[in-house]
Amino acid sequence: MSNDHKLFLEQYPFLTIIKYGKDAEYVCVVQNQDLDVTTVYDFGSLRTVEQRLEFLRLADAWYWESNRQIPINIFLRGEWNQFRFCAKTFITKEVEILAGNTLKLEDLSNKRTKRRTITLLK
């Protein structure tokens, strides 16, 4: 990861930088990534400075107030609906995560098992 990406992610840890195909790079918040598709909210699609500031404010709230296993659109519900227009869906095989984190709903379905120890007494 380049130094520019490191500095960027220190300031905005909730954003992800992805490369799609050969040339297209996106700065985004990942909604979900599974074996077939990756859905993101593209920061570059925002039209005004006010939208960008609100996007960053809400994404920051999601990152620090959630457990980061719930997609941003579910965690923020109605507040996030204003950004539905910047949602993009890509084929996962062609997506390369350059920097940042991803969210996979399939990780939620994995059950956590507790270890039990049994001791036998005579």
What number of CA atoms fall less than 13 Å from residue 54's CA on the CB side?
12
- Mapping DSSP to helix (H, G, I), strand (E, B) and coil, where does residue 31 land? strand
Residues 32-84 pLDDT 10s: 888 888 888 888 888 889 988 988 888 888 888 877 777 887 788 888 888 88
Domain boundaries defined on the chain = 3-105
Residues in the chain, overall count: 122
Q: Residue 8 and residue 1: Cα distance in Å, rounded?
A: 11
Please give the model's pTM, rounded to 2 decimal places: 0.75
